[in-house]
Structure 1
Amino acid sequence: MNITKTQVDDLNAIVTVAITKEDYSDKVEKVLADYRKNASIPGFRKGAVPMSLIQKQYGKAVLLDEVNKILQSSLNDYLVAEKLDILGNPLPKVTEDFNWDAEDLSFDFELGLAPQFSVDLTAKNNVTKFNVVADEKMLNDQVDRIAKQYGKLISKDKVEEGFDVVGTFTNEEKGINASANFGLDIFANKKVAKAFIGKKVGDVVAIETKGLFDDDHKLMDYLKVSHDDVHGLDITVNFTIEEINATEKAELNQELFDKLFGAGVVSSVEDLKAKIKEDAEAQFAQQADQKFLNDVTEFLIETTKFDLPAAFLKKWIQNTGETPLTAEQAEEEYAKSEKGLRFQLIEGKVMAENNLQITFEDLKAHTADLIKKQMAQFGQLNPSEDEINGIVARVMSNQDEVKRLSEQVMSEKMLGLYKEKVKAKTKEVNYEQFIKEMYGE
């Protein structure tokens, strides 16, 4: 056997695998001999079928199968030995007049080669790292929400200022059917708030969505519509009133503080605000980190220039599935996947150049941390180490979970690297400003 590579260009190559009769003849003969032992053909005793008949009936199929095994094994070994970084899988070149009766056989395979490029994390960029703070307005709103949430609800017959209403927004055309509970002060359009005054349970209030809130994104929360639909949404929704409530706010005292946070953790309204600020900003930091990670990724994809073996990849996409695609379908699939492929190559390069690796201990520690946080949410604040280790072992026995967790760990490592090396400007914003920045408005 002889394997050679012909370089077509920087991104394409042809590998030729030349197989001689000595490479496959013994294997073919052994398989045919086994067939003969077990063949059951009318007119012959089992095991006494002439080899010429076995050869005639099964010879070509066995030859094709054994040669294919040799090709797969030898080609894979060659790619590993030569350390060829390929995209997709080798594609056999089809030869219409291929002669399977020849003793020596030669096969050509097309390769799409990964491009050579560099990634500069320190390059000038337009990325912003946001520091999202819980401002005083937000803290006061949250304190007021807590006082209402743990206050006493008093059912009322008709709507007055300061009351809350419970009901359902509907619009058949847009498929809206969203339950909601709110006070009338949520509306930027004060005419809408006035339209509720005097209404009773069962009444329906027609509401125009245009200009309804001070921020169109709130339509996502109250009407459950997508971000793509909220901007400029100009429809009429009906709100059917199901409950009318007045709230006698809870007293912000030690009993309530202990109920919410445990004995002695919070002892004043100022402590309460500090606790809310701490918890909120921890969540904001996670969202800001994710945006930073996404923005750096987009920046690297846009600025890291390299060519791909596009023609090869389209051909590979066309032929790799269970059902072959048309050239037009393969073109569409390639267009959809090209950006993702570029990101994979860039990510792989960054990982290799910065020696980012996931160890078993990394994965175990990450999984244990997630489990502790989940258990804390259900009031299990001090689980034993044995208990945690047992759950970790069960989780890590699931390969799908290991893959998902590995991706999370690598994202954290990439985030840490970007924070260290990417020279982004920082900007402090409140949460409403951050939401606008996140959606590009």
Structure 2
Amino acid sequence: MQITKENSDNLNAVVKVNIDKSDYSEKVDKILKDYRKTANIPGFRKGHVPMGMIKRQYGQAVLADEVNKLIQESLNNYLTEEKLDILGNPIPKEQEDFSWDSDDYSFEFELGLAPEINIDFNNKKAITHYKISADKEMIDDQIKLIQRQFGKLVSQTEVKEGFTLVGKFTNEEEGIENETSFKLEDLKGKKNKTSFLGAKTGDTIQVNTKGLFEKEEQLATFLGLEEDKAKDLDVDVNFEITEINEEVPHELNQELFDKYTREEGKITSEEELKNFIKEQAAEQFVQHSDQQLLNDTTEYLLESTKFDLPTEFLQKWIQISGEKELTKEEAKEEFEKSEKGIRYQLIEAKIIKDNDIQVKPEEVKDMMKERIKMQMAQYGGASFSDEQMDQFANQMLSNQEEARKISEQVMSGKILDLLKEKLKLKEKEVSFKKFADEVYK
């Protein structure tokens, strides 16, 4: 067997694989002999079928299968040994005069070669790295939310502003019969709210569904309907009030501080609570800040790192590599959609290679454990031993798809840390509202 490569240019090459009869004949003969031993053909005893008949019946299929295996194995080995950095997979060239009746075969494959990439980390214009903090309004809103969260419901007999109503919506013709609860402020418009204000437990209020609630999706939820049916619904419904509750916020006292922090005496004043909320918010905002920095550094790298791609090859590869073969026009459109992603993958691979960035198994497990802790914190913050946390992490990482996602996140974090060191950044302290206005405008 002989394999040779000829470069068409810096981004395209053709690999030629020449296969002699001696490369495959022994293997093919062995398989055909094994077929002969087990072949069940009428008129012949098992194991006594003439070899000529076996060859006529199975020979070409076995030959094609073995030659294809030989091509794939030898081509993969060649690419590895030659350390060829290719894009996509080799594409076999069509051969109009090919025949399996020959003894020797020659196959050609098109290759798309990865371009040489030089990354410029000397950005003249500094990239903004946001430092997001909670402002006074956000902290005050969070305190109110905490007071409501740990507050209590006090039963009342008459509907007033801010109260919660519990009851049942009905409309026999529309098949509506749903027990639910909503706050008076969920209602839209003064007319709807006035219909309920002053009502008492046991009263039945009739209202129209059109424009009943502030948010359109609330109508389906409160009436127990599918969204499609609730959309543009314009009928009268009855609401029978079974309970009226006032939400009484918890006082700002030591009991509330201990409940919120789940630790006795950790916070002893309103000022300490505000600082605690601010610190928590800053930690949560780091993820937003880093994600935006990654977005901005990615855009810089894409704009500043110029290189050509084997466009024609990639379009051809996209055309034939999916479950369903695309037309040339479809493949071109798909390439144009994915070109930016392909370019960043190549830039990222260059950064990883040049800086020998590696992801260790223990780093993946540590990140998974942090994710588990965050999830637990949302549901009461249960405490587990290190051994139990290891078991949970191992169980989650046994899912290959989950393990791949976490590994990619660890790698992304390492790349971002490197970019923070190499690129010129300017820190900008902003509130979350200001951040959202600037970034998501």
Q: Same fold (TM over 0.5)?
A: yes
Which range moved further: 307-316 or 77-86? 307-316
- Report the Cα offset of residue 4 of structure 1: 0.4
TM alignment of 1:309-388, pairs within 5 A: 309-379=310-380, 382-388=383-389
CA shift in 2, pair 1:130/1:164, >3 Å: farther
- Name the structure 1 match of 2:116: 116
The amino acid that maps onto 1:319 is I
Kept after mapping to 1: 8 A contact 2:162/2:183: no
Structure 2: how far apart are the matches of 1:208 and 1:425?
A: 49
Q: State the secondary structure of the residue aligned to 2:110.
A: strand
Confirm or deny: 8 A CA contact 2:192 2:207 kept in the other structure.
Answer: no
The 1:263–1:336 alpha-carbon spacing in structure 2 relative to 1, beyond 3 Å, is same
Unmatched 5+ stretches in structure 2? 168-179, 197-204, 221-230
**Quick check: 1:159–1:199 contact (8 Å CA) kept in 2?**
no
CA contact (8 A) 1:41 1:49 kept: yes
Q: Secondary structure at the match of 1:124?
A: coil
Question: How far has the Cα of 1:99 moved from its partner?
Answer: 2.7
The CA deviation string for residues 177-204 of structure 1, in whole angstroms up to 9 with x for no partner, is: xx997786x99xxxx7756653416646
- Once the two structures are overlaid, the 10-residue window that deviates more, 316-325 or 143-152, is 143-152
- Greater shift, 22-31 or 158-167, is seen at 158-167
Superposed displacement of residue 160, structure 1: 5.5
Q: Is the 8 A contact 2:192 2:212 kept in 1?
A: no
Q: Distance in 2 between matches of 1:60 and 1:208?
A: 75
| CA distance 1:128–1:196, change in 2 (3 Å) | farther
Using the TM superposition, name which of 276-285 and 104-113 deviates more.
276-285
Deviation larger for 386-395 or 373-382: 373-382
Partners of 1:329 and 1:291 lie apart in 2 by 32
Q: Deviations over 1:339-376 (max 9, x none)?
A: 22112111111111122111122223222333344445
Cα pair 1:17 1:107 within 8 Å, conserved: yes
Are 1:135 and 2:131 counterparts?
Answer: no
Question: Cα distance 1:129–1:382, how it changes in 2: closer, same or farther (>3 A)?
Answer: same
Instruction: Supply the distance in 2 between the matched residues of 1:338 and 1:270 (Cα, whole angstroms).
Output: 52
Point out the more displaced range, 298-307 or 18-27. 298-307
Sort the Cα spacing of 1:352 and 1:384 in 2 relative to 1 into closer, same or farther, 3 A. same
Q: 2-side partners of 1:64 and 1:266: how far apart?
A: 76
Matching of residues 266-277 of structure 1 within 5 Å: 266-277=267-278
CA contact (8 A) 1:207 1:237 kept: no
CA contact (8 A) 1:134 1:430 kept: yes
Moved more, 320-329 or 197-206: 197-206
Match for residue 198 of structure 1?
A: 194
CA contact (8 A) 1:159 1:196 kept: no
For the 8 Å contact 1:128–1:426, the answer to whether it is kept is yes
Mark the CA change 1:199 to 1:269 in structure 2 (over 3 Å): closer, same or farther: farther
Residues 199, 158 of structure 1: CA spacing in aligned structure 2 closer, same or farther, 3 A cutoff? farther
For residues 237 and 371 of structure 1, the distance between their equivalents in structure 2, rounded to whole angstroms, comes to 43
Q: How does 1:143-222 map to 2 (within 5 A)?
A: 143-154=143-154, 198-200=194-196, 203=207
Structure 1 partner of 2:252: 252
- Whether the 8 Å contact between 2:146 and 2:260 is mirrored in structure 1 is no
Distance in 1 separating the partners of 2:217 and 2:348: 35
**Following TM superposition, by how much is the alpha carbon of 1:12 offset from its aligned partner in structure 2, in angstroms?**
0.5
Alpha-carbon offset, residue 269 of structure 1: 0.9
1:159–1:197 CA contact under 8 A, matched in 2: no
**Residue type at the aligned position of 1:198:** T
- TM-score, normalisation: structure 1: 0.82
3-state SS of 2:99 partner: coil
* Identical-residue share of aligned pairs (%): 49
Consecutive unaligned residues in structure 1, runs of 5 or more: 168-178, 213-218, 225-234
In 2, the alpha carbon distance for the partners of 1:9 and 1:34 equals 47
Q: Which region of structure 1 is more displaced relative to structure 2, 84-93 or 142-151?
A: 142-151
Residue 336 of structure 1: CA displacement?
Answer: 2.2
SS of the residue aligned with 2:8?
strand
Q: Is the 8 A contact 1:2 1:17 kept in 2?
A: yes
The 3 A distance-change label for structure 1 pair 58 and 325 is same
TM-score (norm. length: structure 2): 0.82
SS of aligned partner of 2:100: coil
Which residue does the alignment assign to 2:420? 419
Pairwise CA distance, 1:425: 2.2
2:10 corresponds to 1:10: yes
Equivalent residue number for residue 304 of structure 1: 305
Partner of 2:81: 81
Confirm or deny that 1:44 pairs with 2:40: no
User: CA offsets per residue over residues 38-58 of structure 1, 9 Å max, x none?
Assistant: 112222221111111111121
Tell me which residue corresponds to 2:224. Answer: none
Which one-letter code corresponds to 2:276 in the other structure? K
Distance 1:162 1:57, change over 3 A: closer
| SS across alignment from 2:326 | coil
315-324 or 377-386, larger mean C-alpha shift: 377-386
> Structure 1 residues 271, 304: closer, same or farther in 2, change over 3 A?
same
- 1:280 paired with 2:276, answer no
Contact 1:3 1:16 in 2 (8 A): yes
C-alpha deviations, 1:101-157, integer Å up to 9, x for none? 222211100001111111223323463211111111211222223233433445668
Query: In the alignment, residue 110 of structure 1 is paired with which amino acid?
Result: E
The one-letter code of the counterpart of 2:194 is: G
